[in-house]
Amino acid sequence: MKSQRRDFLKNTLSSAAGLVVGTSAVEAVAATPVLQKYQGLYIPKKEVPKIKFAVIGMNHNHIYGQVEAVIRGGGQLVAYFAKEADLLAAFGKKYPDAKLAKSEEEILEDKSIQLVLSSAIANERAPLGVRVMKHGKDFMADKPGITTLAQLAEVRKVQKETKRIYSVLFSERFENKATIKAGELVKAGAIGKVVQTIGFGPHRINAPVRPAWFFNKEQYGGILCDIGSHQCDQFLYFTGSTEAEVITAQVRNVNHPQYPNFEDFGDVMLRGNGGTGYVRVDWFTPDGLNTWGDGRLTILGTEGYIEIRKNIDIAGRGGANHLFLVNNKETKYIDCSQEVLPYGEQLVNDILNRTETAMPQAHCFLASELSIKAQQLAKKV
């Protein structure tokens, strides 16, 4: 038996592409992750890609966060395409192992690709998503994933017909560790039943480096449709609302008259069957702040409240992902910087298992619907 075990260790480790150089077989196996056969080699199981995915359109830098989320979740980026040469060059430099496709159609017709990501110009994302789903693939868009009610109706129709996943990476929730932790606390009953959410989404405009489409309302969707969609997502998630409506909304162009189709301020009141919400978004982050925006979220419950400082604590704590919990037992600060971001892995598993663990499809569509309706109903001040 000992001889057989030695032979097994020797054969396994020699197939692992040199993982054991300079180490005894027994020590190497003890220190090496579980091995799995992949393309003729035994490699650490966690490195075996669960799905293959591609990118079409990369007009917003959020695409890099989208790609990294799926890679963390076990996906392999195999191809990419965009119309803009400069964007392609930067993306190819970041991901040299992926193939530059000759066209969108090359990716859509590749049956080995299961998921397509996009941060194309905002009003081009939904039509692309429709094409992707009709080709039997799942789709993940940057926010806003949909900019008009007509687009929403078409996306809903095609998603229902194809049973594909249409996901939007609402990064202010999915990519913020303090917000993930807040979700766990709320589900555990730390603040009782949620009554209201108050979300602030300030952003730095960086106007000189923004592309022309960024200031064209038809293309970016308007401030409440665009960055307001983050807040609509969080309102639905934390209140547990499955039905909701816009009570009132307003938008302004306060300080950018050189961009007449741009809005730099907006707010909205929401009411759902699980609670109420207030949202304020703006493009007024001052240059003196060392982050793009002091994103904040307050969740009011019947037995306490949670306040999140997503990107910075201006009181002096370093880093991001700050959470403050106040309830009937304690007042507590929680550093959430070590929390795990689950969205990428959940989405990959949803693609494999045809489940909805990352985000229910109905939730995705309702968050989009609220932000679009808020934009349409908003009074221009």
Asked if pLDDT for residue 18 goes beyond 90, the answer is no
State the pLDDT confidence band at 29, using cuts at 50, 70 and 90. very low
Average pLDDT, the chain: 91
In one letter, which amino acid is 114? Q
Asked if pLDDT for residue 46 goes beyond 60, the answer is no
Average pLDDT value for residue range 335-357: 98
Q: Are residues 222 and 273 in the same domain?
A: yes
* Cα Rg, the chain, nearest whole Å: 23
Give percent of the chain with pLDDT exceeding 90: 87
Asked if pLDDT for residue 296 goes beyond 80, the answer is yes
Q: Please list, in sequence order, all residues whose beta carbon lies within 8 angstroms of the beta carbon of residue 54, skipping any fewer than 6 positions away.
A: 77, 78, 79, 80, 81, 98, 101, 107, 110, 113, 115, 116, 117
Residue 118 is predicted with a pLDDT of 98
CB 115 within 8 A of CB 70: yes
**Whole domain around residue 8: which residue ranges?**
2-47
Better-scored residue on pLDDT, 23 or 151: 151
Q: Please list, in sequence order, all residues whose beta carbon lies within 8 angstroms of the beta carbon of residue 31, skipping any fewer than 6 positions away.
A: 23
Average pLDDT value for residue range 165-186: 98
Asked if pLDDT for residue 167 goes beyond 90, the answer is yes
Q: Are residues 180 and 320 in the same domain?
A: yes
Query: 349-353 long-range CB contacts below 8 Å, 24 or more apart?
Result: 349/50, 349/73, 350/165, 351/51, 351/114, 351/115, 351/138, 351/165, 352/50, 352/51
| Residue 266 φ then ψ, to 5° | -160, 150
Average pLDDT value for residue range 65-92: 98
Average pLDDT value for residue range 62-77: 98
Q: Are residues 106 and 38 in the same domain?
A: no
Q: What's 286's domain CATH number?
A: 3.30.360.10
Residue 48 is predicted with a pLDDT of 79
Task: Name the domain boundary from 32, 47, 62.
Answer: 47
Q: What's 69's domain CATH number?
A: 3.40.50.720
Task: Count CA atoms within 13 Å of residue 239 on its CB side.
Answer: 29
Place of tokens 């806003």: 144
Place of tokens 């007509």: 150
Q: Total structural domains in the chain?
A: 3
* N residues, the chain: 381
Q: Are residues 318 and 250 in the same domain?
A: yes
* Assigned domain for 116 exists: yes
Q: Are residues 30 and 115 in the same domain?
A: no
Asked if pLDDT for residue 204 goes beyond 70, the answer is yes
Q: Are residues 252 and 276 in the same domain?
A: yes
Task: Name the domain boundary from 169, 201, 223.
Answer: 169
Asked if pLDDT for residue 13 goes beyond 50, the answer is no
Asked if pLDDT for residue 22 goes beyond 60, the answer is no
Residue 300 is predicted with a pLDDT of 98
Residue 45 is predicted with a pLDDT of 58
Q: Are residues 246 and 107 in the same domain?
A: no
State the pLDDT confidence band at 19, using cuts at 50, 70 and 90. very low
